[in-house]
Structure 1
């Protein structure tokens, strides 16, 4: 087990600098309690704890809430969102001056992993265009599924859809009972909601998503045959990339901006230097992270670039403060790491 500890992590921690002032409060906005975002956030917080830095992991409704939260929520420097949130806000919130101000100020920290767009529909709905005039569950407001479903149907100009704003886990039994015709769900395949034998493949199927107008915003992808018990053939769909975002802090503006910029630089350095450790011990989706796969439309923050410098050393604090959200999933790894560093 000790061999799995990344040398880069040990080096990063060994060269951390002692803090000269009280630690600024830091938070990352994620998603629901059972989702992937919150687990990714906990992995990042675990890195911070080993550097003696506290990162509060905040549960949320998802991408839209996270995006606005990084702009408006106090002591919230990080958020995980889907990359199509920018296109959604420019399209549907173009007249909201505060939101457009946030759009101009957000910055990407790192691209993360792709999430497939699942549309589970009755077998008599042959395509996306077939959703016209149907009842379709699109996720709760402010969630990533909600914004992707709304944007896709707008791009393709699908008319007359009765949009039902409920979570996918609420929508699935309604679909099976015939109360709705389809549901959207944005999640990395295989999505736990669709696993098992509860979905009848003779009654329901995943819609292909191959329409050319979508490719300006989304990534072509494929859900392989047999990913789900009800799905016998491969289905071509699109994916949206989850990204770790931050804000364009100005160190010359005030103490909060200066300290927040330092926090962004510190965590940029920790993630960059310890990606291999995250891929081995963190959530499985870390294995799909490509830090070079920057989605179009996003700018990288100045504070992020500062932390990416070869000679950058994060400011570590001698004694870690427990984070406000701890899963316990990495306790064994962290304990072994502490033992190794004492030798």
Structure 2
């Protein structure tokens, strides 16, 4: 009798264990967060910081944002284009123009440029040209050593464009990431470097000291009659005095807009949730996230050619 009762008890416990194990796992599977991958740029950069804010808040809305570090804005475009599992990235508006410039010479560039779609405008990124204080203007970098930013970054594209249009002819051009650029300038291995980032840039405040004797040089586009191309891409900007502890005077420079982007044939189920997350919770991001969130205005999307705006953005 005891033996029979023992077996019955084992069967009952076995059924209960199966029930308890099966039901929670089934529930978790049903309610597991949707995973969406975003190409974010270098982990030391602003794009990654903004994406970390998105990742943190998204979990409260049952979204699992998977951040994919890259070398920067240009690499983000290539990453999203080449990988079907990565539907979103962050880039700069001048990179779209850069790709269009090469569209007639390269089939891959043409396909990429034609299919990029903006999902949401983010923030303006100011162009920093940083040197020691013995250099007085951008033109004085002719014959000197300049870092244009890490290969694949938006900075490298912007810097190359401006070097050409400002007729700067460096003796040597290096492709160093931001921390390496700061260190190289400090050691006098280079004479200046470009960095495109929304202000205030944490890395510039934390890595540069007043005693380094660095400065941000003024930048302005040369006047070119009937040339609206550059004027539409780069707008005038001012870095207020004391944007950084080592920069005590206001500086006139240029800025470029950053965008959350996707491609024309992307599944909106993996794009629209992120766009809605930003639109509907922008106040939270502006209060709790990276300071650049305060410059985000979704209405800026209306300034783009409608053919360049993703259909997923309006859903």
Output the TM-score relative to the length of structure 2: 0.79
Point out where structure 2 has 5 or more consecutive residues left out of the alignment.
1-28, 224-229
Contact 1:68-1:99 within 8 A present in 2 as well:
no
Alpha-carbon deviations, 1:228-270, whole Å to 9, x = none? 3332321100112221111112xxxxxxx5xx22222232222
What's the counterpart of residue 311 of structure 1? none
Higher share of residues assigned helix: 2
Structure 1: segments with no counterpart, 5+ residues? 1-18, 250-256, 308-343
2:244 to 193, 212, 228: 228
2:66 is equivalent to residue 50 of structure 1: no
Residue 22 and residue 167 in structure 1: after superposition, are their counterparts in 2 closer, same or farther (change >3 A)?
closer
How many Å separate the matches in 2 of 1:116 and 1:139? 14
**Cross-structure match for 1:162:** 172
Q: Residue 198 of structure 1 corresponds to which residue in structure 2?
A: 209
> Matched residues in 1 for 2:197 and 2:115: separation?
27
Q: Look up the match of 1:279.
A: 286
Aligned counterparts of 1:54 and 1:139: Cα–Cα separation in 2: 31
Q: Offset at 1:185? A: 1.2
Q: Structure 1: which 4+ aligned runs deviate by more than 4 Å?
A: 19-25, 295-298
Q: Is the 8 A contact 1:248 1:303 kept in 2?
A: no
Structure 1 segment 82-97 matched on structure 2, within 5 A: 82-92=92-102, 94-97=104-107
Please tell me the root mean square deviation across aligned C-alpha atoms, in Å: 2.6
104-113 or 148-157, larger mean C-alpha shift: 148-157
Counterpart among 156, 162, 168 of residue 146 in structure 1 = 156
Q: TM-score scaled by structure 1?
A: 0.73
1:103 aligns with 2:105: no
1:132 aligns with 2:125: no
Are the equivalent residues in 2 in contact too, given 1:210–1:236 (CA < 8 A)? yes
Partner of 1:237: 253
- The CA distance in 1 between the partners of 2:252 and 2:92, in whole Å, is 20
Q: Distance in 1 between matches of 2:236 and 2:299?
A: 18
CA radius of gyration, larger in: 2
User: In the TM superposition, what is the alpha-carbon distance from 1:142 to its structure 2 partner?
Assistant: 0.3
Once residues 150 and 222 of structure 1 are traced to their aligned partners in structure 2, the CA distance between those partners, rounded to angstroms, is 21
The whole-number CA distance in structure 1 between the counterparts of 2:194 and 2:258 is: 17
- For the pair 1:301 / 2:310, whether they are aligned, the reply is yes
RCO comparison, higher one (Cα < 8 Å, 6+)? 1
- In structure 1, what is the Cα distance between the partners aligned to 2:131 and 2:297? 32
